[in-house]
Structure 1
Amino acid sequence: MQTYDIPASRVGSLDVASRNKVLRNTYWLLGLSMLPTVAGALLGIQMHFGLSPMAGLLVFMGVAFGSMFLIERTKHTAMGVVVLLGFTFFMGLWLSQLLQFALRFPNGAQSIALAAGGTGVTFLALSTLATVTKKDFSFLGKFLFIGLIVAIVASLANIWLKIPALSLTISAAMVVVFSLYILFDVSRVVNGGETNYISAALAIYLDIYNLFQNLLFLILSLTGNSRD
């Protein structure tokens, strides 16, 4: 874990061993990042953590963008790992709001487990596809970025429109987009497009996090329509 990236001059000609090392370190850090995420989520549930929509948006934007800026600045040092783990703890705390909502439903715990299982299977399948085939999926980048922007704009519009069918459509689209982002981001590591495992772990972590959130929302919407 002493080498955080490969010199830029070698990006175009990384040997297989170097790429595999970056991939291993990425997966190692990705797995480690799940521990503070779970800790933050459990703490948030116990604390009944929650913020008003406006205050929550401001807090989230401030912490998220501030953390990502610090991760980018420190990604070549061990401090980058520390900042990333702190960020994932916050993301777990933030996720606790959705988990608390889910647990109000009779089948809430099962829905969370189903979403987690579906996320895990999706990640395993797509990361394996990218790793085994070594196909370059960089062509997906522009399509995914446009799709993500459209979905975000639609989400913001639906805050006022409050159309249930639109919410389901947006979540379904997000599930597809972030599933493909897993393929895209893992492929970048496999093919030498990303040589810093801290940056790579952050990108894939956000893919998994957003995939889980939207998958859980879909499951709750389709199966959790009544409460005790």
Structure 2
Amino acid sequence: MTGDNAQIFGEFIGTMILILLGDGVCAAVNLNKSKAQGSGWIVIAFGWAMAVTMAVFIAGFMGPAHLNPAVTLAMAMTGAISWSLFVPFILAQLLGALVGAILVWLAYLPHWSETKDQGAILGTFATGPAIRNYPANVITETIGTFVLVLALLAFGKTDFAGGTNVFAVGALILAAGLSLGGPTGYAINPARDLGPRIAHQLLPISTKGTSDWAYSWVPIVGPMIGAVIAVLVFNVMV
């Protein structure tokens, strides 16, 4: 597979792996009778950092491995990709996130019926605020994504030994999770939240409760705003 089709499929498969491993660590920590239950935020932050690292390694030879609509928006704004790929990339990312979340459900199949905490189940799939304050929540997601995209743009100006740039991206995700993840669970990626939230809505989990669609716009709007601001700041820097 070559050309645009390869890049689009890379976004699908990479985002699928991202969510499989990222939501997978959330399942491991949240679900009853998991061997990792209760292991905490640091495990989640490291798990997501490694999820991004592995996903980029797996998909990176096929294309840019954005795996994130906010990153795709930023790269289209800077001319790194054609605007003609903007919508196909985002659709592939959303579909990959949905499939990745379904794979998490399958991987932890016996544990859903053992878990009665609806918040823990939803938190395995999608993000939510520690304190529900929509303006503040949007600001948090904007700031987190601003840091993410600004760093990725700066990485593009840095000389890395072959393949080591991917570990820098993983370190970036770890830093974002540990430092900025507390208020909202650091979606910093619309596909990462929306795809799994759709899966939560659709999957037959008897104790799952609501998918909290009232909050779902926050991890879409905040990251897209943060990406635009990051591009504007980066243009001043260079």
> TM-score scaled by structure 1?
0.30
Normalized per residue, the structure richer in helix is 1
> TM-score scaled by structure 2?
0.29
Larger radius of gyration: 1
